[in-house]
Amino acid sequence: MECGKRGARLNDIAPGIIVTPLAVDEFNGIRGDFYKNMFAKCPAGRPGTTDEVADVAELLMSERAQFITGATFLVDGGATASYYYGPLQPGLETGMEEGKQ
Q: Domain for residue 10, yes or no? A: yes
Q: Domain for residue 72, yes or no? A: yes
Decide if pLDDT at 100 tops 60. Answer: no
Return the number of other C-beta atoms located less than 10 Å from residue 34's C-beta: 18
- Number of domains comprising the chain: 1
In sequence order, what DSSP letters do the residues of 2-65 get, joined into one string? Answer: HHHHTT----EEEE-SB--HHHHHHHTSTTHHHHHHHHHHSTT-S-B-HHHHHHHHHHHHSGGG
CATH of the domain at 16: 3.40.50.720
pTM of the model as a whole: 0.81
Q: Domain for residue 95, yes or no? A: no
Of 33 and 96, the one with more pLDDT: 33
| Alpha carbon separation from 62 to 21, 58, 68, 75, 90 (Å, rounded) | 29, 6, 10, 18, 38
Decide if pLDDT at 62 tops 50. Answer: yes
Q: Domain for residue 66, yes or no? A: yes
What pLDDT digit, counting tens, does each position of 2-52 carry?
A: 777 777 889 999 999 999 999 999 999 999 999 999 989 999 999 999 999
Query: Residues 50, 19: contact at Cβ < 8 Å?
Result: yes
Of 2 and 81, the one with more pLDDT: 81
Give me the domain span that covers residue 81: 2-85
Q: Domain for residue 37, yes or no? A: yes
